[in-house]
Amino acid sequence: MLQRNDNGVSAVQSVRRLLSICLLVFGILAATAVNAFALPQLLIDMRTNEVLYENEAGIPWHPASLTKLMTALIAFEAIETGQATLSTPVITSANALSVEPSRLGLPEGTAITLEDALYMLVVKSANDIAVAIGETIAGSEPAFVEMMNARAAIMGLSGTHFVNPHGLHDPAQVTTARDIAMIALTIKARFPQYDALFSTRTVALGDSRSHSNNELLTGFAGTDGMKTGYVCASGLNIVATVTRGGRQLMAITLGASSSRERGEMTAQMLFSGFAGGYRGTGKTVNAVVNQPGLLPVDMRPDICGANASQYSEQRAEIFSAGLDGQISYLNDTIVPPTHTIATLGRLADVPLPRPRPGTAAMAADSLPDQTLSTGFGDSSIVSLTPAP
């Protein structure tokens, strides 16, 4: 029989409490060690939009495939305004197929529905599909990029500039953790009907299976999104959203040196957030100050260059969670859903959807009934009012 102390607590319960306290202390100490290295990070309470923790959240950084969050946002708005539907054909053009992998790689002229294209955009992070979605909505890739930048301006994303809809590296394609958070919060607040896109781990097409690179989807209970990204110049980036015990937190990490580090750093930040390890900053995301006068950090020498091996060893010493014999924050076993897609055949001659309303009108004027006072800027349409 288990012995109990004077308060009626069993020895096992006492040990569990002690382990929880030790794990929390370790998490806070690990966070302190990571902070010293200055990788951009943000932790946000999604119900109040308070920034619980931030580190270098306003410095310029290359977004990589986090770019696709803006591509998805514009597609969601096009559906909302009636410009497109989930059944609208998205056709793979020669221009779309010319981009570098990751690609879906369907033959030129082959179509899939916009719904399936969005799954491929988010889960597989298919660059050709990002271009095809842009061409479907705006008529051409350059026109869609103009829409992306116009939308960024409307949202007050002063540290962001887009050159393409997929995130393949361009020196001029830049963002900040703060701006990425605002895009992600906009999607979560305005378009909860698309949550399944971001919580899906696998997309299936015939015998082919493509998996999300979001390490938290399979290892951190409560994870329900959202997007990862990687190019040599950016390192490994992630936006992760988690729901536990009635709380919703969003964590952003930019510039990790490996998938282990990206996943463990982000999970540690979330773990500490749910455990009360951060006292909060008392400010919302829009109060985080961008520093657009700086050049974006270029991680290429450390991630893909001659210094990569040494840098990887340095990062393992700074943040060892997840290595053999070390603590891990990704201990849960989760089987996220799979989405199956199918092609519509060759539809090269199907006209693109028309008409296309102006970007500003679509973003600001067409949704007056849904617009709330926000604090993201006068023309933003994301509410920062705490949820009940």
CATH (domain of 43): 3.40.710.10
Residues ≥6 apart with Cβ < 8 Å to 108: 92, 93, 94, 97, 348
Q: Among residues 178, 211, 231, which one has the least CA distance to residue 64? A: 231
Determine how many CB atoms are found less than 10 A away from the CB of residue 15. 10
Token pair 């701006």: residue: 179
- Domain of residue 89, residue span: 19-365
Q: Is 10 a domain residue?
A: no
H helices present in the chain, as ranges: 11-37, 67-80, 94-97, 114-119, 127-138, 141-154, 177-190, 195-199, 216-219, 259-274, 300-303, 308-318, 359-360
Number of structural domains (the chain) is: 1
Q: Is 7 a domain residue?
A: no
Q: Is 13 a domain residue?
A: no
Q: Is 295 a domain residue?
A: yes
What residues form DSSP beta bridges with 226? 240
Pairing outcome for strands 202-205 and 208-211: antiparallel
Q: Is 375 a domain residue?
A: no
Contact call for residues 252 and 238 (beta carbons, < 8 A): yes
pTM, entire model: 0.82
Q: Is 8 a domain residue?
A: no
Q: Is 300 a domain residue?
A: yes
Written as six digits, the tokens of 67 are 């770019």
Q: Print pLDDT tens along the chain (388 aa).
A: 344 444 444 444 443 444 444 444 444 444 333 333 469 999 999 999 999 999 999 999 999 999 999 999 999 999 999 999 999 999 999 999 999 999 999 999 999 999 999 999 999 999 999 999 999 999 999 999 999 999 999 999 999 999 999 999 999 999 999 999 999 999 999 999 999 999 999 999 999 999 999 999 999 999 999 999 999 999 999 999 999 999 999 999 999 999 999 999 999 999 999 999 998 999 999 999 999 789 999 999 999 999 999 999 999 999 999 999 999 999 999 998 999 999 998 865 555 554 444 444 343 333 323 322 233 333 333 333 333 3
Q: Angle at the Cα of 198 (from 356 to 75), degrees rounded to 5?
A: 0
Give 353-385 as a DSSP string: P-----HHIIIIIS-TTT----SS-TT-----S
Determine how many CB atoms are found less than 10 A away from the CB of residue 232. 17
